[in-house]
Amino acid sequence: MNYELIDSGEGRRLEKFGDYILDRPDPEVLWKKTLDETEWNKANAKFEKVWANRDVAEKWEMSDEGIKFWARLAPFKHTGVFPEQESQWKEIFETLKNKDANVLNLFAYTGIATLFAAKAGAKVTHVDASRPAITWANENRELNGMQNAPIRWIIDDALKFVLREEKRGVKYDTILMDPPVYGHAPNGDTWDFGKDLPKLLESCRKILSDKPLFVLVNAYAVSTSATTLANTLQGYFGDLGGKIESGELTLKETSAGRLLSTGIWAKWSSDVIK
């Protein structure tokens, strides 16, 4: 992917997204910067409380393994692209390839994982509570000429949607999710990771097919460890056999080679996956 973590330190990240260099805050970065301010001052945009020094296009194209997507300066320092998930996108594609799987992607945001799943031949239900996020994901779909891909776009609260799918008897072979720490649904309902994730996983267990493939959960800015997240998945999916894996989502600097932890993940996988 045309991304680079150039440097990090003193609460900041210096990153290259496609053609543009961005300076963004990261409170977990406690160490010193490696590069001097001359290099950091080359940033095309810097986020403090808002984006400043914006010398970038309104949106610009990026790509990975043949899947294209738009990056832009979104509120709250994001770009719509999480490059630390790159290995997961490839794994999603390779696992789902030629399996005609039914995939549910919750808190699906700009839809890059959705597109990798659809490229593999899966039918995807893409759920997010944010209309702008769904619009962005559709722009990514159109950028790839995948207008006819079997993707359902749903603006809804994730937990309530899953509960309705259970009542309808809909089953999924794979479930992906990127739940936030806190969130708000269109109807004003709130999401709290600590309280609501167990409820969501319990409901997701009930809509898995008879031959499920995997369940993948990513989490950012939570106090929960990857081990705790893995133990939680074990409690809901362990009876299915298979295996539980977990770890940190990381990026590697080019300046000093340090690994920057950006979040955590845990995954349940069926024994049928080789």
In a domain, 195, yes or no: yes
Does the pLDDT at position 23 exceed 80? yes
- Residue showing tokens 């109807």: 187
Q: Which domain holds residue 161?
A: 78-269
Q: Where residue 105 sits, what CATH number does that domain have? A: 3.40.50.150
Mean pLDDT of 50-58: 92
Total domains present in the chain: 1
Q: Which residues contact 79 (CB under 8 A, 6 or more apart)?
A: 17, 22, 71, 72, 73
In a domain, 65, yes or no: no
- Give kind and range of the element (H or E) at residue 7: strand 3-9
In a domain, 31, yes or no: no
- Torsion angle defined by CA atoms of residues 101, 104, 110 and 113, in that order, rounded to the nearest 10 degrees: -40
What is the percent of the chain with per-residue pLDDT over 70, rounded to a whole number? 99
In a domain, 63, yes or no: no
pLDDT tens-digit readout, 117-169: 999 999 999 999 999 999 999 999 999 999 999 999 999 999 999 999 999 99
In a domain, 165, yes or no: yes
In a domain, 184, yes or no: yes
- The pLDDT assigned to 221 comes to 85
pLDDT tens-digit readout, 198-254: 999 999 999 999 999 999 999 998 889 999 999 999 999 999 999 999 999 999 999
- Give kind and range of the element (H or E) at residue 90: helix 86-96
In a domain, 34, yes or no: no
- Are 209 and 102 contacting, i.e. CB atoms less than 8 angstroms apart? yes
Tokens of 171: 């089953």
In a domain, 260, yes or no: yes
